[in-house]
Chains A and B, each alone.
Chain A
Amino acid sequence: MTAHGTVGTAEPEEPATAGVDAGHDDAGLDVTGLTVAYPRAARPALDDVSARVPPGEALLVVGLSGSGKSTLLGALAGVLGHTLDAQVHGTALVAGVDVTAGGPLDAARVAALVQQDPIAQTCLDTVRAEVELVLENHAVPAARIPAAAAEALADAHAAGLADRRTAELSGGELQRVALAAALAGRPRVLLADEPTAMLDPRAAREVGALVGHVAAGGTTTVVVEHRLDTLAPLPARTLVLSDGRVLACGPTPDVLAEHGARLAAGGCWVPTRTLLATAGAPGPLGTPATDDWLRDLADRRGTQPETPDPYRPGARRRRPDGGFALHARGLRVRRTRRAGGPWSRARRVDVVHGVDLSLPRGRVLGVVGANGSGKSTLLRGLAGLEPTGGSVRAGRTALAVQHPEQGFLCRTVADELAYGPRRAGLADTDVEAAVAAALRRFGLDGLADRSPYRLSGGQQRRLSLAAAVGGDPDVVLADEPTFGLDRAGTLDTAAILRAEADDGAGVVVVSHDLELLGRVADHVLVLHDGRPLGTGPAEDVLADGELLDAAGLERGPLLERWAGWPRPRPSLRRLLTGLDAAVAAAARSGLPDRTGAPA
């Protein structure tokens, strides 16, 4: 615990016991010496974790990918060692209930869980049934159930969804329903595991605000979240995990002030405010001094060409004759749909219409749009995987899919990387060299003999991208390549995509992360309901608030500030990469860290 608060905290340090039932009826959280080991894992996922959350308070859990955040929530929900195989030692008291011993059904009496995947955690056909199930399980008298379900849906801003089928809902709508189902049982403790991770920016902000609101209310809440700018307000307390151990735990402003720099430099997502402070900004975003500092940051990177010239001689290994990597005119992509179950007539529907694209080699095209706007279908059409109309001319095309597991074909990571080169007819020695190079470049060394299905989420994503770019394709299509990655993984991916373009490929990136596109994209195409709503140079599109708004998209605080500056604005890419460089420099030159906490 960090006891010395340097920044004023909104809440008193320990509001704790006052006004709350004492003893075992305590509605807080008490974790002591919690160690969790998964079968066949080299080291425990959680190692001697202890933490306390006073009743009614909220705890934010942050850390790098693989630091044990989701494992902690799984243990608190009682599923580890019960529903899912794991060795669990130590105790976790959730509102006085020992969930490590009692398992998920004991935990369910006092706690509710919202998971990351909106589709997989939805169990029933209709929204109403989904919420009522919880009330039935809590033995709420039948007569009171309809009103209680309506109330829970209203609390989650989902009252209008009550009569809908769950199969028709968007990810953001499903997460609101999941939150309603969680709140319906009036839990004393709410556990939320990256509830906004799979949502588009606007849905993420809405769900983040809902969870933030619940956390700020009387329900004890534990939230694991990457996207800290969307979670508003931030929970009062923060726990930092690193390699399964507690690095820090205390009031959020104190923890961020003392460890934010280390977290940001280590590759963790932190609020924009903390990121700026780490990079050495003179004040918070929006102050004139910080504006000047940011402009200066963008200018300092001015020595580099802003975008590599696609026709620059020697820039490309692939196809030195230059020209277009991808060319599409009036592209339509069709999908087969059955509206009324397996006996209904199969209909081919145009999911994407009227897309014109010209992607020169060496350029990166970003594609944005709300969930369901047809982005993934467009990529499949460009890869020649779905029936298309209009014309597409493309060189050899590789696609890194949104869910990496779907594309795996082999038993080991090395075989996975060798698959493409082997199919392309390379000699064995060349295949081996290609695999070794890919293992090194994508940080997969030491994992060559591992099954692809047993990798962490971040490792799977790197493997998927490595396999896609392995054969030096002319066109690289990447579908949400930074989904679920920490900041370090996101920046690495951005660098790889940019490097592929600099190497002569045409790159198309679908992403919800507008800052990522600010870093890598030359052009941006905005899709809405399967139709192009706008297209243009990346900075023009990202500065066009009306266009983004019409597509159901929102900028984060940093982009919003940049877009609000009068023209001529400094280059967004140089601003973002300059900020990244300043954070990295802060890491190298010793951190503004006053605690000397162990790394």
Chain B
Amino acid sequence: MSARPAGTTATAPGPRGSALARWNPTVKLGTLLLAGAAVMLVTDPVTPTVLWVAAVLAALTLGRVPAGTVARAQLALAAFSVSVFSANLLLRHDGDVLAVVGPVEVTSGALAVATSFAARTLYLGTVSVLLLTTTDPVRLMVSLHQHARLPAPTTYAVLAAHRMVELLPAEWHAIRCAQAVRDPRRTPGSPLPRSPRALGAATFGLLVAAVRRAERATVALESRGLGAGPRTVAHPVPLRAGDVVAGAGALVLVGAVVLAGWWGGWLAGPAALTPG
């Protein structure tokens, strides 16, 4: 029995024992939201790329996220990023024509904006992965309750839902199996059916299962007195000056990257989206 926060071990290996895990989760969430918002109006390729690289480095060092996990996350994000890149490259027309691919002219302005949006996707995705892998959900919710004044029933409902979401993939698989085996024409060993009808039926089954589970979880939470009145917090999450300083520091770094672009002349804003 120690007073350390639930789910976090100071000496734990991996992301949950890292410096980023010890950071006050509310401050971390706020900082990362602001750091992500900072690039929303940026359209040049350099600024989001620099921030993306910084986020990857932070995940690997401060966050102690295993390289394999970072790499797999980048691969998953890359798929999305490539589609963002292609769409913007093909649909925009601005600046010099660099190449002609069939009926489509690839222009310099389009290339810049497309690269910028692709890098932004990678950056925001990496920041999200950083947040998810280094944050203990219970600690985050306790901290939001303490420091952001979020009501306890809301925070614990979110936690119960989080647990339920973790169970859904297994439930989904069980439902698809149970429904597939009902078909007398099915060949054993064939993949589970993926027709819209089959997936629709499975989705409905999952919905029913989720509603049933939610009902039981609500009964469990309420019968344990959640929301009944004043409550205590077993493991308060500390909010220290250092947490805020770290947040401010991170935001200063992001600001510096943006300012450097302005200083160096490569920063571009939303004006680049409207040709002319």
Contacts and interface: CB of A to CB of B under 8 A. Distances in A.
A104 interface: yes
Q: Which of A106, A117, A125, A471: most chain B Cβ within 10 A?
A: A125
A126 B138 contact: yes
A88 to B, nearest CB: 15
B238 interface: no
B6 A132 contact: yes
Contacts of A126: 6-7, 138
Contact of B188 (A83, A106, A115, A384): A384
Contact of B73 (A343, A385, A420): A343
A344 interface: yes
Interface stretch (A210-218, A245-253, A349-357, A390-398): A390-398
A327 to B, nearest CB: 13
Contact of A420 (B160, B162, B182): B182
Contact of B234 (A79, A136, A167): A136
B216 A133 contact: no
Given A104-B223, A181-B224, A396-B184, A139 B229 contact: yes
A125 B72 contact: no
A123 B234 contact: no
A562 to B, nearest CB: 36
A140 B72 CA distance: 44
A470 to B, nearest CB: 9
Contact of A345 (B68, B76, B167, B232): B68
B188 A394 contact: yes
Given A123-B163, A166-B163, A406-B179, A423 B184 contact: yes
A146 interface: yes
Contact of B223 (A113, A135, A409): A113
Size range of the chain A interface in the assembly? 35 or more
A140 B224 CA distance: 13
B19 interface: no
Nearest to A394: B188
Contact of A109 (B163, B174, B225): B225
Q: Interface SS of chain A: helix, strand, loop or mixed?
A: mixed
Interface in B61-103: 68-69, 72-73, 76
Contacts of A343: 69, 72-73, 76, 129, 133
Contacts of B156: 123-124, 133
A221 B209 CA distance: 30
Given A83-B218, A150-B1, A405-B205, A139 B188 contact: no
Contacts of B187: 384
A386 B201 CA distance: 20
A185 B224 contact: yes
Nearest to A464: B178
Contacts of B190: 384
Contacts, number: 204
B138 A125 contact: yes
Contacts of B208: 405, 453
Interface in A144-175: 145-147, 149-150, 166-167
Interface string B130-163: 0011000110000000000000100010011011
A139 B189 contact: no
Interface residues of B, number: 68
A224 B190 CA distance: 43
A146 B218 CA distance: 25
A270 interface: no
Contacts of B240: none
A9 B211 CA distance: 44
Contacts of B177: 380, 383, 385-386, 401
B212 interface: yes
Given A79-B219, A147-B1, A105 B225 contact: yes
A407 B163 contact: no
Contact of B226 (A120, A137, A383, A397): A137
A128 B138 CA distance: 11
B59 to A, nearest CB: 11
Contacts of A138: 225, 231
Q: Which of B177, B187, B190, B216: most chain A Cβ within 10 A?
A: B177
A447 interface: no
A83 B224 contact: no
A108 B222 contact: yes
Nearest to A167: B166
A424 interface: yes
A473 B189 CA distance: 17
Contacts of A78: 223
Q: Which of A79, A129, A140, A420: most chain B Cβ within 10 A?
A: A129
A420 B181 contact: no
Nearest to A117: B216
Contacts of A563: none
Contacts of B2: 146
Interface of B: 1-2, 6-7, 68-69, 72-73, 76, 129, 132-133, 137-138, 152, 156, 159-160, 162-163, 166-167, 171, 174-175, 177-190, 192, 201, 205, 208-209, 212-213, 215-236
9 contacts: A104-B219, A111-B223, A117-B216, A345-B72, A384-B187, A385-B188, A406-B175, A409-B179, A420-B183
Given A129-B138, A132-B234, 20 more contacts: A83-B219, A84-B215, A104-B219, A105-B222, A113-B223, A115-B220, A123-B163, A125-B159, A132-B6, A142-B235, A344-B69, A384-B188, A388-B189, A401-B181, A403-B174, A408-B205, A409-B182, A424-B184, A467-B182, A471-B184
